[in-house]
Amino acid sequence: MKVLAIHGGPRKGWNTDTLLKKALEGAASAGAETEMVQLYDLKFRGCVSCLSCKLKKEPRPNRCVLRDDLTAVLDKAHVADAVILGSPIYFSEITGEARSFLERFLFQYLNYDDTNSPLSPRKRMGLVFTMNCPETLFGQIGYHDLFKRYENWMTRFFGHCEMLLSTDTLQAKDYSRYHLGRFDADAKRLRHETVFPQDCQKAFEMGVKLAKGN
């Protein structure tokens, strides 16, 4: 059992990175072989719509032909039994790096002969999204639809998806150093000390579940 985590955020050691590591700890405790990829350490771009993965030749490509730092990551994701993508939410979306990864990861498997039958290998997927936004504002800014869309994509392409949402997260250790006056720094720290550990436990349990396949 191989479980691959893809960190689509820029901040190592912070919320998304921490939750992904907890998920991998859970997967390892269930006997899985684990690995983490930091997308911000790589040089790559999104899909360029060359359609080479759709060429009519045998054997049919069905794989992204671009060659850059993401190539090896896509190879690892292709053979992994479970893949967990983590990203912070910026301006109501996942990061550009995470989006570019998904473009390359998903489009290679999209079957335009029968869009109801993607060419992707069946695997278990996990999504870990962190955000400064509290859950009470999800309806107002369209987050329910955003997260459901990503969950539906993973389920459609790979057959299974687990999702963890970590909300109202801590942005900085010392709020006084930044122009972040609209936030209650004490409340943010208290939530980080009381609620975020619960999210870490949920991430650990997600890793166990993905590794065990149940």
| Residue from 21, 64, 66, 16 nearest 40 by CA | 16
> Which tokens hold the place of 89?
């939410």
CATH of the domain at 14: 3.40.50.360
How many other CB atoms are there within 10 angstroms of residue 145's CB atom?
10
> CA geometry: angle at 7 spanning 5 and 12, to 5°?
125
| Residue from 117, 154, 197, 171 nearest 6 by CA | 154
Rounded-to-integer distance, Cα 205 and Cα 207, Å: 5
Per the structure, how many domains does the chain have? 1
Rounded-to-integer distance, Cα 23 and Cα 19, Å: 6
Q: pLDDT tens digits, the chain, 214 residues: what are they?
A: 999 999 999 999 999 999 999 999 999 999 999 999 999 999 999 999 999 999 988 777 789 999 999 999 999 999 999 999 999 999 999 999 999 999 999 999 999 988 888 899 999 999 999 999 999 999 999 999 999 999 999 999 999 999 999 999 999 999 999 999 899 999 999 999 999 999 999 999 999 999 998 6
Rounded to the nearest 10 degrees, the angle between the axes of helix 15-29 and helix 196-212 is: 40
Rounded to the nearest 10 degrees, the angle between the axes of helix 143-158 and helix 96-107 is: 30
Token look-up 């405790």 returns: 29
Decide: 36 and 60 in contact? Cβ < 8 Å: no
How many other CB atoms are there within 10 angstroms of residue 207's CB atom?
30
Rounded-to-integer distance, Cα 111 and Cα 140, Å: 35
Q: Which domain holds residue 57?
A: 2-212
First to last CA, the chain: 13
The SS3 of residue 207 is: helix
What confidence score (pLDDT) does residue 214 get? Answer: 64
